[in-house]
Homo-oligomer: A and B are copies of this chain.
């Protein structure tokens, strides 16, 4: 039995997401770090912050690995322990979980956890290839699979099994673009219509252009500390009450069922169990919509509706900002953008804003409990966290 809360978030930062021409990953991260430091005047970064745990997915994009100490140096934290985590698009979700372990173990009192990626300078074919490194090379990449194709198989299976429709997928895109239009840091701050989404060009059938998230640059971070130190740094900290992580096969071909993401269900189960919360307790959630089908399946697998009803859930309006269980108020990966290594902690950033009443035009009323679900690959990694406003 682990004593709760696990840790507190006392500040957070996010760079603009999008095509950040002329900036490298190390530079982009400074924007996220500066926001987190500026928002936390009681924190002396050089004195208080004793580590950097950084999600960063691909060394290929900038011909640069070993980004833990590199980024730590560029934000003035050298010589603190700095670690790079790579679990595909769950890289910073995993960094967050390990950051909690660093706090909870007594190794550090305060640590920065973040993520970064720089992709938009690449040709789209190169970016797609580097992202595909997270799929199985010998058995899937090699045969030409990239993630749109792999998620298309998942979508087709779900349509077959549960009569899920393209319109339901498109409704997720419309919702997330609406939310993104309210987020000044989102890459795509524009609404789309259902018709636009449903008639956009096919990328990998049944997935169309607007079913796919974006290739983005961006960075995210949070400042984690021990719960008992939280009030030293912030009047409105939020608390992490549960953490779950699970894995699944890296080959889609190895799975018994494509309509559910087993690692998601297990990670969510563990995060709920640790926190003592249930799906109905969640006021706001950020879940991994790398493709619309991912949000749909995750909304089922984390228990927001019964299996197969993810399409009906979004059509009911329940996942809108003013619905019963608002999902991806930030705009999600779909509209806010998806700088892959930054995405997991960017989800935590949105929950931090929502739970501290700083989400502006997209604020959810009375949000007190939040959930994040960060996916790596097609669910080979899943990481869930539950957050609360009170200790």
Report which A residues bind B (CB closer than 8 A): 1-3, 24, 57-60, 62-66, 68-70, 72-73, 77-88, 94, 97-98, 100-107, 133-138, 141, 243, 245-250, 254, 262-263, 266, 376-377, 380-381
Chain B residues with Cβ below 8 Å from A81 are: 97, 245-247
Copies of this chain, whole number: 2
Query: Known contacts A60-B60, A246-B81, A249-B78: does B136 contact A70 (CB below 8 Å)?
Result: yes
The distance in angstroms between the C-alpha atoms of A1 and B107, with both chains bound, is 9
The distance in angstroms between the C-alpha atoms of A82 and B69, with both chains bound, is 22
Chain B residues with Cβ below 8 Å from A136 are: 64, 70
Query: Known contacts A66-B86, A86-B86: does B250 contact A79 (CB below 8 Å)?
Result: no
Q: Select A380's contact among B60, B70, B133, B380, beta carbons within 8 Å.
A: B70
Inter-subunit contact B79/A247 (CB<8 Å) = yes
Please name the residue on chain B nearest to A86 by beta carbon: B84
Chain B residues with Cβ below 8 Å from A94 are: 83
Inter-subunit contact B66/A377 (CB<8 Å) = yes
Give 14 A-B pairs besides A64-B136, A69-B247, A105-B105 with Cβ atoms closer than 8 angstroms: A2-B105, A2-B106, A2-B107, A59-B60, A65-B133, A66-B377, A73-B247, A79-B247, A79-B248, A79-B266, A80-B246, A82-B381, A84-B86, A104-B106
The distance in angstroms between the C-alpha atoms of A226 and B125, with both chains bound, is 47
Inter-subunit contact A83/B85 (CB<8 Å) = yes
